[in-house]
Chains A and B, each alone.
Chain A
């Protein structure tokens, strides 16, 4: 299995809703990442988990809350989002970062 699976593929949520994005990989990768990508822009790093511990938080607002329940799963909990948070959210994993990251196909989030 050489894939990173993200669910859901599309999500529409109101500003008062609470939702979660899920990411799963079974490649034995020990580092997992959340990126946010706006249209026609490069991905922006949000969080890095290394060996299930949060190692990098790129000053992301607290309305985004990451969680790594085990080495295969990564969640992103969303609460009280703003319309400007609408974007493609990409999950990635890597065994050894210089070898390259494997990306999921993303969750397209719309906040209304």
Chain B
């Protein structure tokens, strides 16, 4: 069965600094998709970034980028120039065709210090 692991329950970063959130996953599928979702205190789940497993190039979205290591089954999120509005719970998620479900990790709560 597919699993997603986020080993950092909480992280903290200074405003304007860079932080990296870790995510590992386990799967036997070769074709799948990985996501990072942000959930601020408002509880709205917001898609931050998406990566297709068949693409070697790491996805980027403005200040957000990923380091996708397929062989190591690792999918970390880097937030550059952190802003106060980045404070939220971040969930790593996996989607594969075999289960047709979005599987979430346990989340990392990110605090941004002014």
* Chain A interface residues toward B at CB < 8 A: 37, 40-43, 45, 48, 55-56, 88, 90, 92, 97-106, 108
Contact = CB atoms under 8 A, between A and B. Distances in A.
Interface of B: 33, 35, 37, 42-47, 50, 52, 89, 91, 95, 100-102, 104-107, 109
B101 A100 contact: no
Nearest to B42: A105
Contacts of A41: 106-107
Contacts of B91: 42-43
Given A40-B109, A106-B43, A97 B102 contact: yes
A30 to B, nearest CB: 13
Contact of B101 (A37, A56, A105): A56
Among all A-B residue pairs, the 6 with the closest Cβ atoms: A42-B104, A103-B45, A98-B33, A105-B44, A100-B47, A106-B43
Contacts of A101: 45, 47, 102
Contacts of A103: 37, 44-46
